[in-house]
Structure 1
Amino acid sequence: MEFSVKSGSPEKQRSACIVVGVFEPRRLTPVAEQLDEISGGYISNLIRRGDLEGKAGQMLLLHHLPNILSERVLLVGCGKERELDERQYKQIVAKTISNLNETGSMEAVCFLTELHVKGRDTYWKVRQAVETTQDSLYNFDQLKSKKSDQRRPLRKLVFNVPTRRELPYGERAIEHGLAVAAGVKACKDVANMPPNICNPAYLLQLANELAEQYQSISVESIGETQMAELGMNSYLAVGRGSDNESIMSIIHHKGGSASQAPIVLVGKGLTFDSGGISLKPGEAMDEMKYDMGGAAGVLGTMHAIAALNLPINVIGVLAGCENMPDAKAYRPGDILTTMSGQTVEVLNTDAEGRLVLCDALTYVERFNPDAVIDVATLTGACIIALGKHASGLMSTHNPLAHEIMNASEQSSDKAWRLPLWDEYQDQLESPFADFTNLGGRPAGTITAACFLSRFTKKYNWAHLDIAGTAWVSGGKNKGATGRPVPMLTQFLINRSGVPTED
């Protein structure tokens, strides 16, 4: 898909289609008014007859308007002008792209980026249009024997901005939007891959392919032999019941100076989570292939920042592992000695993500990081607390948490901060070990983060629980969402000092 930005009058556009908005009730946007005047009132006559009310998402495709150079004009309902917010804007763009893709318009000039969206500028509108377009066109068909080829798909989209002064912002937005969209696609592709293909070795293969693609990227890996030498007994315990070797893939993006402390992203990479001896119910267990959503998000983010060649040092850790029941599998009641030397009483083998992450979080101390963010589909409790709309954020460092929330707001990849008070730590007490791996049902998302916080004393740390946002469940529409790639990429763009907004 090719994107560009321009500034020009609608009547001068020679294209397969021009896309303009109509507000409710039957009120033309300024661009639509220009086309109406040039066409001798053609559009307003249709509107008066009731062909389009202007409700959000309504579409009306017109052919060969008088005095208009373009073959088609697509009228898009935008709802009430004063109520147009970012969510509705993205929904309108998504529906527009779907419509264009079905009409045989291989190219289009889109004027929706001139709409006024509350609190958002040209950069945001163009970037979100790029990301939404790519998301709308995404299709995972790699494993289908028969692929559906569209005869005349949409190939080129031009976004119009009101003035030439805004062209640089639009061009920057396209660059950033394409990088984020590529990262989201990489995240979706690996997360949607079935667990008989996507195992820890496959994650390493994808990391190595990324290194072949970008000069700034290098990769190292740690297998079970080295993990044992390092004392990563907690990580190893989780993978003991699987025939697939646990592998931690470490991706280095070296964009800053050698002396610059890196930002480390640690992704939970449970390529399948059966629950182990504490076996999960059979219903929807196929979706446990998405328990590596954190690692997928980190891999996608590394794709995006490498594409942008951000002047910053970032290390992405894919903590690959598989949790299976077996004679060798770890059990409830086991006590594990973690890499940090702290001991953990296992109450439930399905609370395994934190047991993998705790050793990974201890391992990354050696990088002397400026900050560490771990990303994990960690708790079902997060879905109960926040639903599918927001990722849960917890942190022991307020400035870092504020940065992440700011990036969440900028990227429209929502997060919500939950407390991490000392009172919650009491729920992890054990009579036999330093603490347990489970804090009970109350505040399950928070106590999971409390567990991880005990391994992060030597650096600034934040935790993202993406259990509710990493994938969509059930039916033919189930699949990975690509989150939190937009948020993490925005956070790193901000950290790198690369300008974004107007």
Structure 2
Amino acid sequence: MQLDVKIGRIGSEVDTTVIIGLFKEERLEESDATVMESALHRYLRDVLAVGDFKGEDQEVAVLYPLGQAPPGRVILVGLGSRDGFSLDTARRASGIAVRRALKLGVSELSITVHGPGGPDGPVAPGFELRDCAQATVEGLLLGAYRYDDFKTGDEDRPELESVTVVTPQRTQAYEIRDGIEDGQISAEGTTLARDLSNAPGNAMTPRKLAAAARKMAGETGLNCRVLTRKDIVKERMGALLAVNAGSEEPPRFIVLEHGEASDGTDTLVFIGKGITFDSGGISIKSSGGMEEMKHDMSGAAAVIGAMRSIALAKPSLHVVGLVPATENLPDGKALKPGDIITTRSGKTIEVINTDAEGRLVLADALEYAERYNPTAVIDLATLTGACVVALGYAATGMMGNDDGLQDRVRSAGETAGERVWPLPLWKDYHDQIKSHVADVKNTGGRWAGALTAGAFLAKFVERPWAHLDIAGTAYTDASKPYCPTGATGVGVRLLLQLVKDWKS
């Protein structure tokens, strides 16, 4: 897709489609004529005077000037109250507007940056023009996303081909251009994660996931190493091998690396759970909704997508992405309840439930991360339904052993529009996973399931660490302003923002 900045007034070109965001109860003033073409300005003043369009958050209206102004179509989108504006307001507005445009068959459009109040800059204190431009573009690109790789036939599916961001001020154009680049890098990493997670299990096996990661690394200059079963055996990853035992598909362990370790350079390690299909194993799930378990590698997808964005953003940090990848299937050789397995760290695990497999593969990955002497470790996993019960679909659950790191993650999530909420790891939850026959057991009973899972992972990490349970945020069964039904790509924007904000 082509993304450009144009210096001028929005709506100056004939027969175009323009998107304009307006705040609640906003009535265009004479000063706004510096932002939009004069005939369009007069036309919109008359339309708004009628009062039908209120400017409520996510409100949208399509107008046809029919010769009263140059554009052929104007899409108005509400931004809500000025006081309530956030960067996610801009994302939502862009997403809603572009989806309406695509339904109308539009492939080219012009837009203003949501939030700024003309030549004087952002209307809301604390919001920079570059950030608003980034959020506006993220909403457009993510709202235009669709996954139709397996659709056939001649159905007309219009695609967004060109977006022009219009500003009246030459001095603003440079900031907007930087914001557009930031937004494109962020959104494309997110769409990659969505593509990986949306792919069916037969099209996204561990080997194919590794191939996708290797291809991406080759395109972006990342270092990539893929460990095969033989390598995994040499690395003593007993937990990953145990989960894989019931599958005909061999496991893979993917390593992606940006930059290199050096004195004075921090190292961040991101780990993504890569269960490419989760049947539950011998502790098999019910059939209802099992098809959604293709999304059980959403943590892996987030790490791969984030590493793509990080490679293009080029931060002066050493960043490593790790993905333990396998299927979890029942078979005569599959892991059984009651089995005891030995992890890479040497610690033993009593397996109570084979459907609590994600924490097993993460245990080996957390230990593997130690070789990088990391400043901080963050894992992402669709780990527990209990986290969905606790937080619903509105936020990712966060646990960890370092308050400072959790504060950084939470701040990055707020900026990126990917909220996280801290949950405790009290001794009570560690007590629930004590085993009489091994060092630890992999489930702690019915209560506090998300927290006992976090407590389990804490046994395998010594560094500053945060665990993100994305079970409720990784995919959606209801279309959202800038995300259709399916994978959300959650985690990519958060990790990218964390890296951008990171200071030693």
Please state how far the C-alpha of 1:48 moved relative to its aligned partner. Answer: 3.8
> Which TM-score applies when normalising by structure 1?
0.90
Give the structure 2 partner of residue 60 of structure 1: 62
In the aligned structure 2, how far is the partner of 1:302 from the partner of 1:330?
A: 32
Confirm or deny that 1:139 pairs with 2:146.
yes
Once residues 181 and 396 of structure 1 are traced to their aligned partners in structure 2, the CA distance between those partners, rounded to angstroms, is 30
Please state how far the C-alpha of 1:462 moved relative to its aligned partner: 1.3
**Counterpart AA for 2:145:** Y
CA gap 1:413/1:7 in 2 versus in 1, 3 angstroms: farther
Q: Confirm or deny: 8 A CA contact 1:104 1:154 kept in the other structure.
A: no
Deviation readout 1:237-258 (Å, 9 max, x if unpaired):
1110110111111112226758
1:467 maps to 2:471: yes
The CA deviation at 1:27 is 2.6
Distance (Å, rounded) in 2 between the aligned partners of 1:3 and 1:420: 45
Which residue in the other structure is 2:219 paired with?
Answer: 213
For 2:492 and 2:165, locate their aligned partners in 1 and report how far apart those are by CA, in whole Å. 24
The aligned amino acid for 1:189 is: D
Offset of residue 65 of structure 1: 4.7
TM-aligned CA distance change 1:224 to 1:8, over 3 Å: same
Q: What secondary structure sits across from 1:463 in the alignment?
A: strand
Give CA-to-partner distance per residue, 1:77-97, whole Å, 9 cap, x none.
444444444444433222211
SS state at 2:411 partner = helix
**1:183 Cα shift?**
0.6
Any idea what the Cα deviations from partners look like across 1:166-202, whole Å, max 9, x if unmatched?
3333222111111111111110111111111211111
1:319 to 302, 324, 329: 324
Structure 2 CA distance for aligned equivalents of residues 398 and 29 of structure 1: 47
The 3-state SS of whatever aligns with 1:27 is coil
Q: Distance in 1 between matches of 2:40 and 2:135?
A: 31
- Residue aligning to 2:401: 396
5+ residue gaps, structure 2, are: 118-122
CA contact (8 A) 1:22 1:32 kept: no
Superposition RMSD in Å: 2.7
SS in 1 for 2:136: helix
CA 1:39–1:378: 2 relative to 1, 3 Å? closer
286-295 or 398-407, which deviates more: 398-407
Q: 1:480 maps to what in 2?
A: 487
Are the equivalent residues in 2 in contact too, given 1:254–1:312 (CA < 8 A)?
Answer: yes
Q: CA deviation at 1:399?
A: 1.8
Residue in structure 2 matching 1:130, options 137, 160, 165: 137
More deviation in 42-51 or 263-272?
42-51
SS of equivalent residue, structure 2 residue 273: strand
CA distance in 1, matches of 2:354, 2:31: 60
| 1:447-499 alpha-carbon deviations (Å, 9 max, x no partner) | 11111111112x221111111111113799531001010000111122279xx
**More divergent stretch after superposition (260-269 vs 71-80):** 71-80
Query: For 1:72 and 1:218, how far apart are their aligned partners in 2?
Result: 47
* Residue 156 of structure 1 pairs with residue 162 of structure 2: yes
TM-score (norm 2): 0.90
Residues 441-456 of structure 1: pairs in structure 2 closer than 5 A: 441-456=446-461
Q: After superposition, where does 1:295-444 map in structure 2 within 5 Å?
A: 295-444=300-449
Shift of 1:40: 8.7
8 Å CA contact 1:36, 1:42 repeated in 2: no
1:14-93 to structure 2, matched below 5 A, reads: 16-25=16-25, 27-28=27-28, 38=39, 41-49=42-50, 52-56=53-57, 57-66=59-68, 68-93=69-94
Tell me which residue corresponds to 2:500. Answer: 493
Deviations 1:141-183 (A, max 9, x none): 11122263346x5422223456444333322211111111111
Q: Secondary structure at the match of 1:428?
A: coil
Q: Distance in 2 between matches of 1:474 and 1:410?
A: 23
Stretches of structure 1 that go unaligned for 5 or more consecutive residues are 498-502
Do the aligned partners of 1:84 and 1:118 also contact (CA within 8 Å) in 2?
no
Q: Following TM superposition, by how much is the alpha carbon of 1:45 offset from its aligned partner in structure 2, in angstroms?
A: 3.3
Q: In the TM superposition, what is the alpha-carbon distance from 1:367 to its structure 2 partner?
A: 1.6
CA distance, structure 2, for counterparts of residue 74 and residue 488 of structure 1: 33
Q: Which amino acid aligns with 2:446?
A: R
What is the one-letter code of the residue matched to 2:91? K
More deviation, 165-174/268-277: 165-174
SS at match of 2:346: coil
Misfit runs of 4+, over 6 Å? none
In the alignment, which residue of structure 2 is the partner of 1:203? 209
2-structure distance, mates of 1:145, 1:107: 25
Which residue is equivalent to 2:120? none
The alpha carbon displacement at 1:400 in A equals 1.4
Conserved 8 A contact 1:220-1:250? yes
> Offset of 1:60 from its aligned partner?
3.1
Matched, 1:230 2:235: yes
Matched residue type, 2:382: T
The amino acid across from 1:393 in the alignment is M
Equivalent residues of 2:11, 2:18 under 8 A apart: no
1:233–1:414 distance in 2 versus 1, CA, 3 Å: same
Residues 329-372 of structure 1: CA distance to partner in whole angstroms, max 9, x if unpaired? 11111111211111111111111111111011111211212221
SS in 2 for 1:143: coil
Number of residue pairs the alignment of both structures matches: 493
Aligned letter for 2:202?
N
1:9 positional shift: 3.4
The Cα of 1:22 is off from its aligned counterpart by 4.3
| TM-superposition CA deviations, 1:276-323 (whole Å, max 9, x none) | 111111100001111111101000001111122333221111110111
**Relative to structure 1, is the Cα distance of residues 324 and 118 closer, same or farther in structure 2, using a 3 angstrom cutoff?**
farther
Deviates more, 1:97-106 or 1:378-387: 97-106
Counterpart residue identity of residue 2, structure 2: E
